[in-house]
């Protein structure tokens, strides 16, 4: 008895499915029309979509200050000189990522000149032109003759701040791709592929300048101090040597030591200054080596190469996607419609 009941249920299910399939077959022309409509809409969207080109740059920071610096620092400590150390370095990869997104670095980059589409201008002027920003200024008379080539004012800072927000919110992506290798990927998207390429290249240059200046600041301060000190001691040494030579010439006929006291004092001063100058010169050369050792390298692994890839999907792929979407949508609509009718009739 139970077996007969199962057969009846299975038969009802098959009839139920066949009924829905027959209904879909009846609506096949409507489904085909829906698929064609979706394909046309997808094609229209793809054609009218503004292409954005993606410039991608990969780099790695080679911080070599820790290698070989300890030996130099130990030698320098014997002379009472501190060249600094890379320990406690605040500029790790995460800080570099934030530095690339910082307002100061991006605005400095935008103020650099570059030749795009045969015209040389600051990048921010190219940005305004490419993104049609000036079109929104038609009703603002005080912006008619506005240009970033002029002297910087509060208005310049305000507009550049808005542009900076737009760049970091929509177009700029900075990721740490591989923690083990410390590879950082810098990606920028723009309607103009030349602008995208020039922007990422100049952005990495500006970041490198700021990063290197920070990393070598203490070593630079030490180098400048020793250089000034060496120049000062050398100048004083020249003065004392001339004075000593003059006094020695005057004292050639003097036999008593008391009469030559000034000569002895100047001779001692010259010897002391000579010793000081030699020691400072040693430290100065060591400081130069330390500065060279502390200067990190920004090694660019991959640069963007024209032509850049845009964000548009190929027409063939767009037709397939929109066609499948239209088919699923129309099938779902008619199945739901059939289900509602059967439920109401029941």
DSSP code at position 51:
P
The answer to whether 319 and 78 have CB atoms below 8 angstroms apart is no
128: exposed, middle or buried (Cβ count in 10 Å: 0-12, 13-18, 19+): buried
Contact 110, 124 (CB under 8 A): yes
Segments in the chain below pLDDT 70? 1-9, 63-92, 178-181, 254-259, 346
Nearest to 116, CA basis, from 193, 201, 200 = 193
On the CB side of 166, how many CA atoms lie within 13 Å of its CA? Answer: 13
pLDDT at 346: 60
How many other C-beta atoms are found inside a 10 Å radius of the C-beta of residue 341? 11
**Residue-level pLDDT at 324:** 92
pLDDT at 149: 81
Residue ranges per structural domain of the chain:
2-49+313-345, 53-216+297-302, 220-294
**298 forms bridges with which residues in the sheet?**
61
pLDDT digits (tens, 9 = 90+) for 97-144: 888 999 999 999 999 999 998 899 999 999 999 998 888 887 777 777
- CATH match of 53-216+297-302 with 3.30.70: no
Task: Quote the pLDDT of residue 137.
Answer: 82
């Amino acid at each position: 008895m139970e077996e007969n009941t199962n057969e009846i249920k299975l038969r009802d299910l098959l009839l139920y499915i066949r009924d829905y399939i027959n209904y879909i077959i009846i609506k096949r022309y409507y489904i085909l029309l829906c698929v064609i409509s979706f394909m046309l809409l997808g094609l229209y969207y793809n054609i009218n979509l503004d292409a954005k080109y993606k410039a991608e740059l990969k780099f790695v920071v080679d911080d070599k200050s820790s290698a070989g610096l300890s030996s130099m620092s130990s030698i320098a400590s014997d002379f009472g000189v501190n060249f600094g150390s890379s320990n406690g370095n605040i500029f790790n990869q995460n800080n570099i990522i934030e530095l690339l997104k910082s307002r100061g670095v991006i605005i400095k980059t935008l103020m650099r000149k570059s030749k795009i589409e045969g015209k040389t201008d600051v990048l921010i002027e190219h940005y305004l032109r490419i993104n049609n920003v000036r079109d929104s200024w038609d009703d603002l008379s005080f912006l008619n003759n506005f240009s970033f080539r002029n002297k910087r004012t509060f208005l310049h800072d305000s507009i550049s701040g808005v542009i900076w927000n737009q760049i970091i919110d929509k177009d700029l992506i900075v990721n740490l791709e591989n923690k083990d290798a410390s590879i950082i990927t810098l990606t920028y998207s723009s309607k103009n592929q030349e602008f995208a390429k020039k922007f990422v290249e100049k952005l990495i240059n500006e970041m490198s300048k700021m990063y290197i200046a920070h990393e070598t600041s203490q070593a630079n301060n030490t180098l400048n101090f020793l250089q000034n000190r060496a120049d000062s001691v050398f100048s004083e040494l020249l003065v004392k040597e001339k004075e000593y030579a003059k006094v020695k010439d005057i004292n050639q006929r003097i036999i008593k030591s008391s009469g030559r006291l000034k000569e002895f004092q100047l001779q001692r001063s010259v010897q002391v200054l000579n010793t000081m100058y030699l020691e400072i010169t040693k430290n100065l050369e060591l400081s130069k080596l330390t500065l060279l050792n502390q200067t990190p390298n920004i090694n660019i692994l991959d640069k963007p190469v024209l032509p850049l890839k845009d964000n548009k999907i190929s027409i063939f792929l767009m037709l397939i996607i929109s066609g499948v979407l239209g088919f699923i949508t129309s099938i779902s609509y008619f199945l739901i419609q059939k289900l509602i009718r059967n439920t109401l009739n029941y």
